[in-house]
Amino acid sequence: MKFKQDPHYMNISEMFCWILAIFFYFLAIWVFPFMPEEVATHWNALGQVDGHTGRFLATFMLPYLATIMFILFVTIPRIDPLKNNIKKFRVHFDGFIMLLMMFLLYLFLLVISWNLGQIFDMGQVLSPAFAILIYYCGILIENAKMNWFIGIRTPWTMSSELVWKKTHVLGGKLFKISGVIAVLGIFEFYAIWLVIGPVVVSSIYAVVYSYFEFQRQAKKKKRKRR
């Protein structure tokens, strides 16, 4: 599906993310007095808490991280030497930024809920959010044009427009499949593996594919010269 580029879309998406970032801090300030001195901040593959952080750092860590990531992502299209290529899929990239901010807010709400007494399997409740984020990464990858920051950037994709295109078409499909698999984490005790496993495999496969596709294209060029 193709999206029509709206000249005001960038401003709307950035405004949305700034509002979300401000809401992050208001929420953190509001819940801070109610959080325990030692806040649960890390869960293992079994869904058990295996890491705690002091109240102040734990409460404001995710809002700070969300703000830094947002600033980083909105800076990328402005500094990339191939910024004109980013403009061609900017709608998809802006969508990813907004989705990532919403994912972090969802994670923050889960951490707050757990530490205020609601007990649940963190992996299972995070699986749907991860699934949506991963699936959308597939959409972003499929539409990404050659640039220095976004997509599957290997020596081989950065050396050939054709290799870039073929690798990203494949990579987009693999990430979409990974997103669908991640949904199954809702029903699985070891949910984290259904989220991380397919993404790791897809990433490695896409990198390896880019190498062999580059070699295949190089051989085709040699045969044409003969």
- Name the band, by pLDDT with cuts 50, 70 and 90, for residue 1: very low
- Tell me the backbone φ, ψ of residue 81, rounded to 5 degrees: -60, -25
> Which residue, among 52, 56, 54, 67, has the nearest Cα to 29 in the 3D structure?
56
Contacts of 193 (CB under 8 A, 6+ apart): 45
Which of 24-33, 95-104, 115-124, 207-216 has the weakest average pLDDT?
115-124
* Full-model pTM: 0.89
Least confident segment among 10-14, 65-69, 113-117: 10-14
Q: Which residues of 51-64 are buried (b: 16+ CB within 10 A; e: fewer)?
A: eeeebeebbebbbe
Per-residue pLDDT tens digits for 106-140:
999 999 999 999 988 888 899 999 999 999 999 99
pLDDT for 226 equals 67
Q: What stretches of the chain adopt beta strand conformation (E)?
A: 38-43, 49-54
pLDDT at 192: 79
- pLDDT > 90: what percent of the chain? 72
Contact 16, 98 (CB under 8 A): yes
